């Protein structure tokens, strides 16, 4: 029997229209979107189904919206398949905001609490750095050590040391860096000089997962201190440790650290494979994580479900 890990995507996977088909076809999905709308006092579902790409891409909207779609897919699978997440998955994991989706899926957070925390997280991350002062970039064809050396060199600028650090170790030679715009731009020049296959700025609104996000980490620390968190029904592989998180106190600490530290996705996938996982199932919008898994653990099976037909196909595999 396959050993499954359920994965939950992060920012960048959002598209206008996501979840619309699910809401039309399944009461379980409609209930998720309605609860999130009521919790946030916003017709977020309308924005997801038929809004503008610019509005949906706003961090404070994209984060709870992506979580809502992921949980809607999970609830449909549970309703149609007649079993719970804990009966299907050995572990769960999510990329950046997707870790909140994973925790909600595993019962550590209620759906409403996850939506409120992600709305706050998105707002705090956007406010942490004035527009234009930060940047993120992708280094394609660079391994972790090479990217770290590039960041160390780029941080030493003409006006003193600046922030530039690894934000995401996505695996398959894909590393994302984040920090002060000038330092990130220097890193791109250095990467090109060193022959990195492709080095490019990313169209993002803030420099996520770096030390410049410290103000947002403080906001999340205060919010998570009083947040009700239960031990998850299945272990969650945390972004910043690439290890199991099962205790509420540890989960709080890891989520605060996640705001300023590296998303260790490559190591997380390898950790799940070491636990015996040989089937990775992505729930929600897009197939980004499935693609990354294929590069990191090429012998593992992958599947993704975000539409009714994909859910039908997935239920035959589970």
Helix or strand holding residue 138 (H, E): strand 134-140
Placement of tokens 């205060």 in the chain: 222
Measure the N-to-C terminal CA separation of the chain; round to a whole number of Å.
9
Enter the tokens of residue 292: 């990354």
Among the options 101, 209, 241, 279, which is catalytic?
209
CA distance 181 to 258: 21
* Burial classification of residue 197, based on how many CB atoms lie within 10 Å of its CB (0-12 exposed, 13-18 middle, 19 or more buried): exposed
Among the options 70, 96, 178, 279, which is catalytic?
96
Residues 236, 99: contact at Cβ < 8 Å? yes
Beta pairing, strands 279-283 & 4-8: parallel
Residues 68, 33: contact at Cβ < 8 Å? yes
* 209 given a catalytic annotation: yes
| Residue 12 CB partners (closer than 8 Å, separation 6+) | 288
Give the DSSP letter string of 232-289: PSS-EE-TTTSSEE-SHHHHHHHHHHHTTS-B-HHHHHHHHHHTT--EEEEESS-SHH
* 4 given a catalytic annotation: no
Beta pairing, strands 279-283 & 301-305: parallel
Active-site residue list? 96, 209
């Amino acid at each position: 029997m396959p050993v499954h890990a359920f994965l939950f995507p992060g920012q960048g996977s959002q598209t206008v229209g996501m979840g619309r088909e699910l809401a039309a076809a399944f009461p379980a999905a409609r209930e998720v979107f309605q609860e999130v709308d009521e919790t946030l006092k916003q017709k977020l579902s309308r924005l997801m189904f038929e809004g503008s790409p610019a509005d949906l891409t706003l961090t404070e909207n994209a984060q709870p919206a992506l979580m809502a779609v992921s949980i809607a897919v999970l609830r449909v699978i549970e309703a149609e398949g007649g079993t719970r997440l804990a009966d299907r998955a050995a572990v769960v994991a999510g990329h950046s905001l997707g870790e909140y989706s994973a925790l909600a899926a595993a019962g550590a957070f209620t759906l409403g609490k996850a939506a409120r925390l992600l709305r706050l997280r998105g707002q705090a991350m956007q406010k942490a750095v004035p527009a234009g002062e930060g940047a993120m970039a992708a280094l394609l064809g660079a391994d972790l050590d090479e990217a770290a050396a590039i960041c160390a060199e780029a941080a030493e600028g003409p006006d003193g040391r600046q922030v530039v650090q690894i934000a995401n170790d996505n695996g398959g030679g894909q590393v994302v860096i984040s920090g002060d715009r000038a330092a990130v731009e220097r890193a791109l020049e250095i990467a090109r000089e060193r022959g990195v296959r492709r080095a490019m700025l990313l169209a993002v609104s803030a420099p996520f997962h770096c030390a410049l996000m410290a103000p947002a980490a403080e906001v999340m620390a205060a919010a998570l201190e009083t947040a009700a968190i239960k031990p998850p029904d299945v272990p969650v592989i945390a972004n910043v440790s690439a290890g199991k998180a099962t205790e509420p106190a540890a989960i709080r600490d890891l989520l605060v650290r996640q705001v300023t530290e590296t998303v260790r996705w490559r190591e997380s996938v390898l950790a799940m494979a070491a636990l015996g996982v040989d089937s990775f199932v992505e729930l929600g919008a897009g197939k980004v994580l499935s693609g990354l898994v294929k590069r990191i653990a090429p012998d593992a099976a992958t599947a993704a479900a975000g539409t009714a037909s994909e859910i039908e196909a997935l239920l035959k595999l589970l």
